[in-house]
Amino acid sequence: MTAAFLIAAAVAVLTTALALTRSNAVHALLYLVVSLLAVAVVFFLYGAPLAAALEIIVYAGAIIVLFVFVVIMLNLGPEATEQERRWLQPDIWVGPSLLAAVLLVELAVLLTDGSAAAAGVVGPAGTRAVEARAVGIRLFGPYLLAVELASFLLLAGLVGAWHLGRRPWQGSPAREEEGEAP
Amino acid sequence: MVGLLFLVPLLPFLGFLVLLVGGGRLPRRAVEAIGVGSVALSFAVAVLVAIGFAGLEGESYRQTLWRWMATGGFSADIGLWLDPLSLVMMLVVTGVGALILLYSVGFLRGEAGARRYFAAMTLFVASMLVLVLADNLLFLYLGWEGVGLCSYLLIGFWYREPANGAAARKAFLVTRIGDAALLLGLVLIVASLGTLDIPVLQDRAPEAWTAGSTLPVAAAALLLAGAVGKSAQLPLQVWLPDAMAGPSPVSALIHAATMVTAGVYLIARMHGLYALAPAVQTAVAAIGALTLLLAAISALGQSDIKRVLAWSTISQIGYMVMALGAGAWGAAIFHFMTHAFFKALLFLAAGLVILRLHEEHDIRRMGGLAMKLPVSFAGFLAGAASLAALPVVTAGAYSKDLILWQVAASTEGGLLLWLAGAIGAVLTALYIFKAVFLVFFGPMQTAPEPAPASPAMLGPIVVLAVLAVFGGGLAVPAQLAGTLPAPPLAGAPGHPPLAFALVSAALPLLGLAIAWALYVGRRGPLTGLAASRAVARAAPVAAAGFGFDALYERLFVRPWHALARTLRDDPADRPAAGLAGLSLGGYRLLRETQTGRVRWYAASLAGGMAAALALGVLS
Amino acid sequence: MTGLPMIWGLGLAAILFVLGLLGVLVRRNILFMLVSLEVMLNAAGLAFVVAGARWGDADGQVMFLIILTVAAAEVAVGLALALQLFRRTGSVDADAAMRLRG
């Protein structure tokens, strides 16, 4: 169990790091899929099978597919990859890395605070995993309002994406600029 | 015929209006004809009025044209007041004015701007006539400002030269100091006496005010300040030498014969007021005496012929003011008249010389012109003799001797004033004959242009020369006796003793002799004295008019400029501007954070989060 | 189910979150920035799930579901924006949107 977690965690961290440093968008997305699958394994290990399933279906499935569609639509060629490589100069890493390191250290300090809750072990032996049923009861019980709000959010996202993603009107200022696009 | 009085100032004013409105379309001949004609006609009417006045009963004639304004307890009319004093002024202004305008026709031949010139000159004559004929002080003030404006316009006649514009501004600003004082004086009189009407004022002032009390002293002092500014007396004399930047006929009419004597006229006109303020009258005498000495010495140091005459004018007006201060009212006005003749003559003759020598002003570069320019020479000589008051044969002698006698004999005057006048007389003869000898005698230095002078220029010179020589015969003081109070002579009124007359006659002859020895004979002990170091050191001081210009420059002009420079930046606005600057600075600072880079915003967010967490971790 | 220390899961979440943040800050390509955001959201969801599992409570997974919803909406709108940016500027460079600066 511990070994499974460590392997999954190592895979997740490694593939995430790789995904974020790729020049080629499709490669990055493939690494991201692996990372998400690894995180799904971690979910499963922590006794959240519903979350693990949704992670695979929604993240690794739907969202990644959406990214792939956009990559196809943008039709970025090798020169885009080349440009990515030019943008990723070592010196631009310095500042953000420092910031990230500070943040990580702070999080580590907070997590290893020594409080009993943080040090505790998940699920003493024999405790059942939190099943989908329990989540469903909770969602459509006390969190019904949150579910409705989430549905509103998705609707708004749908409308917004449709509005932003459509082609500009004939005669709008954006029309002339479109001709310049490669 | 006296009823025609209103035409006297009206005719030049009409001439001015015609020149102003229709001047652009008029041919040159018509412009000249209107300019000279309106003033000449005015003189003719003035003569008719004078004849009519002589046959009139009573001492004065008053003509009210219409009511100018009436507010509350104060009213002022457009009204004219004729008495022997204003009659003399009126005749001199129109007569000399007409002659000088005639001369201008020849002087300005071939020069652009004739319309501007004649319009300003006719307006000047009209304003001057308003000044001398006005029956109330407000109307007088209108004329007073009018002549100041015309003086400004005409000094800057050749306005393309920046120095001329500066001279015009200087004249305007310095006289304005006096004008402001005069206006304050008028306000004071209105506030305390309720009227500006001159005859009423003369009656009312002695009733309302006791002699020597504060109000009449203040009013008289303010009026004196106005007169000092207009008449270029100490300490406001600095503008007149610079005013010579104008054309010579302008200098002759405005800055010698008429406008600068307006102060003398004002004091004479308000003699009743000065009788109530003995302290101010003493100040008048002192100012006159100081001015005449200082200006005479300054004249000696000048090399520009027109500046010699300008300082001479200041000095001669100093005589008049001293006479006024000593109570010799009639003598002052008499000297005003003869001065108008001979000084106008000197300016016209000098103008002719300058014209023929191609704008050469420096007497040291002239010489031997007596034979080349006979009319100028004769005219200048007659004017110089009259100015120096050579005895018996000149008009100036009669008026100046009268002043010296009455000043010496007056209870208001005394020996000190007489001494100033006597020294001034010697100096006067010295400086003017220095000019005569340098310009017309000796070797020729600059050859004059051989072109014959036009009769328009020579005629006035001849007429004025005759007046300068024989004008002393006009019995002006006797005519004025009824209008102006008699001088407070210590002894019995009458003719001066013979010894006094002989001394007075000897003074100018002494000056003439010194000038001859220095500039023609060039021998003797005097020449050595003139070459001595003391004289050499004093000469620049005299040439600079005793440094009043430099003093005022340092005392007033520069601090004023500094103040203006300070205020130009609007220091009072600083705090408000600072507040605006602070907002602007804050805006700029905050704007820098809005780079438009999404990653920059993300980094800011992350940085903020890190900082917030650090607070939690470290606390 | 035997125990896994909660801190391991939380540590993994922290690492993933910081990695995502690093990606957002470093990458100029708006597509990669969106990917990084997904990683960060995913890390946040992981933290909720782990914390929920620690107490055997379903609330952690409820929160994860809501984060999932947010992520889906965010990625839809974000990708539409990316498309629009590409159409207008011909580039996927996020800094190209600097022209929008007021």
Q: Which residue ranges does chain A devote to CATH 1.20.120?
A: 2-130
Look up residue B324 and give its amino acid.
Answer: L
More confident of the two residues B75 and B48: B48
**Average pLDDT rounded to a whole number, residues B172-186:** 91
3-state per-residue secondary structure call for chain C: CCCCEHHHHHHHHHHHHHHHHHHHHHCCEHHHHHHHHHHHHHHHHHHHHHHHHHHCCCHHHHHHHHHHHHHHHHHHHHHHHHHHHHHHHCCCEHHHHHHHCC
pLDDT at A126: 44
Residue B603, domain member (yes or no): no
DSSP symbol at B122: H
**Average pLDDT rounded to a whole number, residues B328-350:** 89
Q: Give the count of beta carbons closer than 10 Å to the beta carbon of residue C97.
A: 18
Q: Is A95's CB within 8 Å of B606's CB?
A: no
d(CA B186, CA C79): 89
DSSP symbol at A143: T
Task: Tell me the percentage of chain B whose pLDDT exceeds 70.
Answer: 98
CA distance A86 to chain C (A): 11
**Average pLDDT rounded to a whole number, residues A34-60:** 90
pLDDT at A123: 54
Q: Which of A133, A164, A166, A167 to mutate to test the interface with C (most CBs of C within 10 A)?
A: A164
Q: What are phi and psi of B82, to 5 degrees?
A: -115, 120
For residue B463, pLDDT over 70 is answered with yes
**Average pLDDT rounded to a whole number, residues B5-12:** 91
Mean pLDDT (chain C) is: 86
**Average pLDDT rounded to a whole number, residues B144-162:** 90
d(CA B82, CA B198): 12
Q: Is C87's CB within 8 Å of A178's CB?
A: yes
The answer to whether B118 and B19 have CB atoms below 8 angstroms apart is yes
For residue B528, pLDDT over 60 is answered with yes
Q: Give the count of beta carbons closer than 10 Å to the beta carbon of residue B558.
A: 11
Q: Which residues of C touch A114 (CB under 8 A)?
A: none
Residues B349 and B486 in one domain: yes
Longest dimension (CA), chain A: 68
d(CA B412, CA B418): 11
**Average pLDDT rounded to a whole number, residues C28-33:** 87
For residue B567, pLDDT over 70 is answered with yes
pLDDT in tens, B341-351: 999 999 999 98
**pTM for the structure as a whole:** 0.68
> Domain ends where: B508, B527, B546?
B527
Tokens 């002006």 sit at which residue?
A: B476
pLDDT in tens, B211-249: 878 888 999 999 999 999 998 888 888 888 888 888 889
Q: Which residues of C touch B596 (CB under 8 A)?
A: 95, 97-101
**Average pLDDT rounded to a whole number, residues B556-567:** 88
> Domain ends where: B507, B527, B547?
B527
pLDDT at C99: 67
pLDDT in tens, C40-72: 999 999 999 988 888 788 888 999 999 999 999
d(CA B115, CA B117): 5
Residues B523 and B559 in one domain: no
Nearest CA in chain B to C98: B596
pLDDT at B216: 87
d(CA A55, CA A108): 25
Residues B549 and B483 in one domain: no
pLDDT at A121: 62
Grouping H, G, I as helix, E, B as strand and the rest as coil, residue A121 is strand
Q: At what angle do helices B262-269 and B329-356 cross, to 10 degrees?
A: 170
Neighbouring chains of C at 3+ CB pairs under 8 Å are: A, B
Distances (CA, A) of B452 to B71, B150, B372, B375: 59, 31, 11, 11
DSSP symbol at B304: B
From C79, C80, C82, select the one nearest C94 (Cα to Cα). Answer: C82
Query: Which one of A96, A100, A106 has the shortest CB-CB distance to B614?
Result: A106
From B443, B435, B440, select the one nearest B518 (Cα to Cα). Answer: B435
Grouping H, G, I as helix, E, B as strand and the rest as coil, residue A172 is coil
DSSP symbol at A141: T
**Average pLDDT rounded to a whole number, residues B314-336:** 90
DSSP string across B341-396: HHHHHHHHHHHHHHHHTTS--BGGG----TTTSHHHHHHHHHHHHHHHT-TTT-HH
The answer to whether B455 and B533 have CB atoms below 8 angstroms apart is no
pLDDT at A176: 45
Q: Which residues of B touch A99 (CB under 8 A)?
A: 603, 606-607, 610
Query: Which one of C1, C19, C79 has the shortest CB-CB distance to A129?
Result: C1
pLDDT in tens, B119-142: 999 999 999 999 999 988 899 999
For residue B429, pLDDT over 50 is answered with yes
Q: Is B594's CB within 8 Å of C94's CB?
A: no
Residue B320, domain member (yes or no): no
The answer to whether B153 and B165 have CB atoms below 8 angstroms apart is no
Look up residue A17 and give its amino acid.
Answer: A
* B160-164, B251-255, B528-532: segment of lowest average pLDDT: B528-532
Q: Which residues of B touch A102 (CB under 8 A)?
A: 610, 614
pLDDT at B46: 92
Q: Does A148 touch chain C (CB under 8 A)?
A: no
Residues B420 and B553 in one domain: no
For residue C2, pLDDT over 60 is answered with no
Q: In sequence order, which residues have a C-beta less than 8 Å from that of residue A114 and are 6 or more positions away? A: none
**Average pLDDT rounded to a whole number, residues B453-469:** 86
DSSP symbol at B110: T
From C100, C22, C84, select the one nearest C92 (Cα to Cα). Answer: C84
For residue B541, what are its two tokens?
Answer: 């001081």
* A141-145, B365-369, C9-13: segment of lowest average pLDDT: B365-369
Phi-psi region at B113: left, alpha or beta (left = phi > 0; alpha = psi -120 to 50): left
Confidence class of residue B449 from pLDDT cuts 50, 70 and 90?
confident
CA distance B594 to chain A (A): 19
Residues B370 and B471 in one domain: yes
Nearest CA in chain B to A112: B617
Neighbouring chains of B at 3+ CB pairs under 8 Å are: A, C
Confidence class of residue B14 from pLDDT cuts 50, 70 and 90?
very high
Instruction: Mark out the alpha helices in B410-450 (DSSP H runs).
Output: 415-440
Residue B133, domain member (yes or no): no
Query: Which one of C21, C97, C99 has the shortest CB-CB distance to B598?
Result: C97
**Average pLDDT rounded to a whole number, residues C65-81:** 91
Residue B257, domain member (yes or no): no
d(CA C102, CA C99): 8
For residue A181, pLDDT over 50 is answered with no
Residues B463 and B552 in one domain: no
Residue B514, domain member (yes or no): yes
Q: In sequence order, which residues have a C-beta less than 8 Å from that of residue B187 and are 6 or more positions away? A: none
CA distance B611 to chain A (A): 9
For residue B459, what are its two tokens?
Answer: 């005629």
More confident of the two residues B19 and B410: B19
Longest dimension (CA), chain C: 57
DSSP symbol at B1: -
Residues B538 and B470 in one domain: no
Confidence class of residue B152 from pLDDT cuts 50, 70 and 90?
very high
**Average pLDDT rounded to a whole number, residues A7-33:** 91
Residues B516 and B558 in one domain: no
Q: Which residues of B touch C95 (CB under 8 A)?
A: 596-599
DSSP symbol at B520: I
Q: Which residues of C touch B602 (CB under 8 A)?
A: 21, 24-25
pLDDT in tens, B344-374: 999 999 988 888 888 888 888 887 887 888 8
Q: What are phi and psi of C93, to 5 degrees?
A: -75, 120
d(CA B332, CA B403): 7
**Average pLDDT rounded to a whole number, residues B490-496:** 64
* CA pseudo-torsion sign B486, B487, B489, B494: negative
d(CA C31, CA A24): 11
Grouping H, G, I as helix, E, B as strand and the rest as coil, residue B134 is strand
Q: Rg of chain A's alpha carbons, rounded to an integer? A: 22
pLDDT at B70: 81
The answer to whether B356 and B448 have CB atoms below 8 angstroms apart is yes
For residue A100, pLDDT over 60 is answered with yes
For residue A172, pLDDT over 70 is answered with no
Q: Does A9 touch chain C (CB under 8 A)?
A: yes
Grouping H, G, I as helix, E, B as strand and the rest as coil, residue B197 is strand
Residues B421 and B490 in one domain: yes
Residue B236, domain member (yes or no): no
**Average pLDDT rounded to a whole number, residues B493-513:** 81
What is the domain count for chain B? 2
For residue B156, what are its two tokens?
Answer: 């800057």
The answer to whether B326 and B285 have CB atoms below 8 angstroms apart is yes
Distances (CA, A) of B377 to A6, B336, B372: 128, 24, 9
pLDDT at B490: 65
For residue B446, pLDDT over 80 is answered with no
Residues B522 and B542 in one domain: no
Residue B361, domain member (yes or no): yes
pLDDT at C1: 47
DSSP string across B49-102: HHHHHHTSSSS-EEEEEEEEEEETTEEEEEEEEE-HHHHHHHHHHHHHHHHHHH
Confidence class of residue A115 from pLDDT cuts 50, 70 and 90?
low
* A77-86, B109-118, C10-19: segment of lowest average pLDDT: A77-86
> Out of 1.10.150, 3.30.1380, 1.20.120, 1.10.3470, which CATH number does the structure's domain A2-130 have?
1.20.120
> Domain ends where: B540, B563, B586?
B563
Q: Which domain holds residue B432?
A: 326-527
Residues B451 and B557 in one domain: no
d(CA B418, CA B402): 11
Residues B374 and B419 in one domain: yes
Residue B465, domain member (yes or no): yes
pLDDT in tens, B254-301: 888 888 889 999 998 888 888 888 888 889 999 999 998 999 989 888
DSSP string across B444-505: --SPPP-PPPPHHHHHHHHHHHHHHHHGGGS-HHHHHTTTSPPP-BSS-SSPPPHHHHHHHH
Confidence class of residue B493 from pLDDT cuts 50, 70 and 90?
low
The answer to whether B45 and B8 have CB atoms below 8 angstroms apart is yes
Mean pLDDT (chain B) is: 86
